[in-house]
Homo-oligomer: A and B are copies of this chain.
């Protein structure tokens, strides 16, 4: 990293350029900076410093006689070492508390998430994205098979946090009501408190055991569970997007062709899911600036993302997506505190339905998890 060898003045100038550019949107010149400084350094001196910064790749000129704009590298340096880390704005915090707590008493985590994404878009004036808790991290509270026709059952998955998922599973040979109840009991006895990957390995393990060969119902239980697991894939329906209209009319996206690509990117949710998944392991907000994101269509965007947790594990993420020219200082703290809020909210949900917590410990989930 060549970042250490920036002089104090260079750092200050770069910071001022970024600060001005993100609000004005037009290249900032030496005069502007000179005036913004407490010591009245002349424009000429600033020009020298700016020329240095340009040489080092932190600034760029749109054309010869224009001011400077930050490059991706310039922004990067700004967020990494220049930006002051203010606490989040009181207003933002207050609104978040208000909206999220209001929906917490309602049921349905879906509701909280959909409000969250709207709020995130609203507060940031950018595109808001929320990746719903991944089912692969969800802890099973109950798995139930319900008959819906002669040869098909509905598999119903309920997680500790209250997420619900259902799939239709074919049934090779019909089971009586009593048998189906027995199957349900078997399933819940064996799987309660486990995550999906854990259930998968448990299923494989049990299918190998001799016992299953003789206990017909157990065999069926494992078979149906296995079917359900196969049906479940991480799909695009787990991603919420809102606020795309915020990005329409941004001067930064003047080019129509580019804008078209942009919207295609927002509708292709699979790619967004991948992007957000990538940030799950971080424990600070992650900032991806322009070309740092290799995905085509995102070259001119910045993504600020942060995971939220459940039981110390990251289970989902939220992000703000906008033009590279954005208010990093505010938005990073916004995303950060938003993810904390969601984490706390999930924790509170567990406490509400906490009766099964002991059971979870008993099954020893903590050690056998894969990310």
Residues in A lying within 8 Å of B, measured CB to CB: 107-108, 110, 114, 141-142, 144, 146, 148-150, 152, 154, 156, 158, 162, 164, 166-168, 231, 237, 242-245, 248-249, 256-257, 259-260, 262-264, 266-267, 352-353, 355-356
Contact = CB atoms under 8 A, between A and B. Distances in A.
B146 A156 contact: yes
A257 to B, nearest CB: 7
B260 A249 contact: yes
A257 B356 CA distance: 53
Contacts of A149: 352-353, 355-356
Contact of A167 (B108, B144, B237): B108
Contacts of A257: 249
Contact of A158 (B142, B154, B256, B264): B154
A152 B107 contact: yes
Contact of A162 (B114, B162, B168, B237): B168
Contacts of A353: 148-149, 152
A166 B162 CA distance: 11
Main secondary structure of the interface of A (DSSP, over half): mixed
Given A114-B237, A148-B353, A249-B259, 8 more contacts: A107-B152, A142-B146, A142-B148, A148-B158, A152-B353, A156-B156, A245-B263, A248-B263
Per assembly, the copies of the chain total: 2
A259 to B, nearest CB: 5
Contacts of A262: 245
Q: Which 7 A-B pairs have the closest CB atoms?
A: A107-B168, A245-B263, A249-B256, A149-B353, A245-B264, A248-B260, A249-B260
Contacts of A260: 245, 248-249
B263 A259 contact: no
Given A152-B353, A267-B245, A107 B144 contact: no
Contacts of A352: 149
A129 to B, nearest CB: 13
A164 B158 contact: no
A266 B141 CA distance: 37
A144 B256 CA distance: 51
Contacts of A264: 245
A267 B353 CA distance: 34
**Most B CB within 10 A of own CB, among A149, A248, A353, A355:** A248
Contacts of A142: 146, 148
A147 to B, nearest CB: 8
Given A156-B156, A245-B267, A259-B248, A146 B144 contact: yes
